[in-house]
Structure 1
Amino acid sequence: MSATRRQILAGSGALGVGASIAFTGALSDLFAGSATAAGRDLGHEGYGPLVPDPDGLLDLPAGFRYRVLSREGDPLRSGEGPVPSNHDGMTALPGKGGRVHLVRNHENRPTAKFSVPTVKGLTYDPAGKGGCTALTLDSRGDVLSERVALAGTAVNCAGGPTPWHTWLTCEETEDKAGTNGYTKDHGFVFEVDPSDPRRGGAVPLTAMGRFQHEAIAVDPHRGVVYETEDAFLEPFGLFYRFLPEKPLGGVGSLRAGGRLQAMRVPGVPDLSSIQDPGASFDGITWVDVPDPLAVTTPVRLQDFGPKGITHAQKLEGCYWGGRCVYFVSSFARGSDGSAADHFGQIWRYDPQRRRLTLVVVFGPDTDVQLPGESPDNICLAPSGGLMVCEDGNGAQHVFGVTRAGEVYAMARGRQNIGTPEAPEWGEFAGVTFSPDGRTMYVNCYTPGTTFAVTGPWRR
Structure 2
Amino acid sequence: MSSAPRRLATRRQVLAGSGAAVAAISFSGAFGELFAGTATARGHAGYGPLVPDPDGLLDLPKGFRYRVLSREGDPLRSGEGLVPGNHDGMAAFSGRRGRTHLVRNHENRHTGRIGVPTAEGLTYDPMGKGGCTTLELGPGGEVLGERVAIAGTAVNCAGGPTPWNTWLTCEETEDRAGTNGYTKDHGFVFEVDGADPRRTGAVPLTAMGRFQHEAVAVDPRKGIVYETEDAFDHPFGLFYRFLPRKPLGGTGSLRAGGALQAMRVPGVPDLSAVRETGTAFDRVEWVPVPDPQASGTPIRLQDFGPKGITHAQKLEGCYWGGSSVYFVSSFARSTEGSAADHFGQVWRYEPERRRLTLVVVFGPDTDIGLPGESPDNICLAAGGGLMVCEDGGGAQHVFGVTRRGEVYPMARGRQNTGTEEAPEWGEFAGVTFSPDGRTMYVNCYTPGTTFAVTGPWR
Shorter-chain TM band: over 0.9
How far has the Cα of 1:250 moved from its partner?
0.4
Q: Is the 8 A contact 2:239 2:262 kept in 1?
A: yes
Task: Report the more deviating stretch, 358-367 or 421-430.
Answer: 358-367
Q: Is the 8 A contact 2:237 2:311 kept in 1?
A: yes
Give me the whole-angstrom Cα distance separating, in 2, the residues matched to 1:5 and 1:335: 16
How far has the Cα of 1:195 moved from its partner?
1.0
* 1:383-441 Cα shifts (integer Å, max 9, x gaps): 31100000011100011110001111111000000001100000000000001110000
Q: Is the 8 A contact 2:16 2:368 kept in 1?
A: no
Give me the whole-angstrom Cα distance separating, in 1, the residues matched to 2:441 and 2:106: 15
Distance 1:315 1:109, change over 3 A: same
Q: Is the 8 A contact 1:41 1:384 kept in 2?
A: no
Matches within 5 A, 1:125-136: 125-136=125-136
How far has the Cα of 1:4 moved from its partner?
4.1
Give me the whole-angstrom Cα distance separating, in 1, the residues matched to 2:42 and 2:176: 49
Structure 2, unaligned stretches of length 5 or more?
1-9
Q: Is the 8 A contact 2:27 2:366 kept in 1?
A: no
* 1:93-114 Cα shifts (integer Å, max 9, x gaps): 1111111110000000111221
1:23 aligned partner: 29
Give me the whole-angstrom Cα distance separating, in 2, the residues matched to 1:50 and 1:203: 43
Q: Is the 8 A contact 1:29 1:322 kept in 2?
A: no
1:202 aligned partner: 202
2:308 aligned partner: 308
Amino acid at match of 1:249: G
Q: Is the 8 A contact 1:91 1:102 kept in 2?
A: yes
2:342 aligned partner: 342
Distance 1:326 1:315, change over 3 A: same
1:182 aligned partner: 182
Distance 1:257 1:356, change over 3 A: same
* 1:156-212 Cα shifts (integer Å, max 9, x gaps): 000000000000000000000000000000000000001110111100000000000
Give me the whole-angstrom Cα distance separating, in 1, the residues matched to 2:241 and 2:86: 28
Give me the whole-angstrom Cα distance separating, in 2, the residues matched to 1:134 and 1:397: 24
Give me the whole-angstrom Cα distance separating, in 2, the residues matched to 1:370 and 1:72: 29
1:319 counterpart SS class: strand
1:42 counterpart = 2:44: yes
Task: Report the more deviating stretch, 82-91 or 379-388.
Answer: 379-388
How far has the Cα of 1:372 moved from its partner?
2.1
Q: Is the 8 A contact 1:2 1:365 kept in 2?
A: no
1:95 aligned partner: 95
* 1:98-155 Cα shifts (integer Å, max 9, x gaps): 1111000000011122110000100000000000000010110000100000000000
Matches within 5 A, 1:46-65: 46-65=46-65
How far has the Cα of 1:3 moved from its partner?
4.9
Q: Is the 8 A contact 1:324 1:348 kept in 2?
A: yes
Distance 1:166 1:405, change over 3 A: same
RMSD: 1.7
Matches within 5 A, 1:279-290: 279-290=279-290
Q: Is the 8 A contact 1:362 1:370 kept in 2?
A: no
Amino acid at match of 1:29: E
Matches within 5 A, 1:51-450: 51-364=51-364, 367-368=367-368, 371-450=371-450
2:4 aligned partner: none
TM-score (norm 1): 0.95
Distance 1:222 1:242, change over 3 A: same
How far has the Cα of 1:446 moved from its partner?
0.3
Give me the whole-angstrom Cα distance separating, in 1, the residues matched to 2:142 and 2:129: 28
2:76 counterpart SS class: coil
Q: Is the 8 A contact 1:41 1:383 kept in 2?
A: no
Amino acid at match of 1:48: G
* 1:223-262 Cα shifts (integer Å, max 9, x gaps): 0000000013201000000000000000000000000000
1:140 counterpart SS class: coil
Distance 1:39 1:60, change over 3 A: closer
1:456 aligned partner: 456
2:394 counterpart SS class: coil
2:376 counterpart SS class: strand
Structure 1, unaligned stretches of length 5 or more?
none
Q: Is the 8 A contact 2:25 2:366 kept in 1?
A: no
How far has the Cα of 1:266 moved from its partner?
1.2
Distance 1:42 1:383, change over 3 A: farther
Q: Percent identity?
A: 78
Give me the whole-angstrom Cα distance separating, in 1, the residues matched to 2:449 and 2:270: 36
Give me the whole-angstrom Cα distance separating, in 1, the residues matched to 2:449 and 2:14: 26
How far has the Cα of 1:5 moved from its partner?
8.1
Give me the whole-angstrom Cα distance separating, in 1, the residues matched to 2:371 and 2:447: 25
* 1:71-114 Cα shifts (integer Å, max 9, x gaps): 00000000000000100000001111111110000000111221
Aligned residues: 446
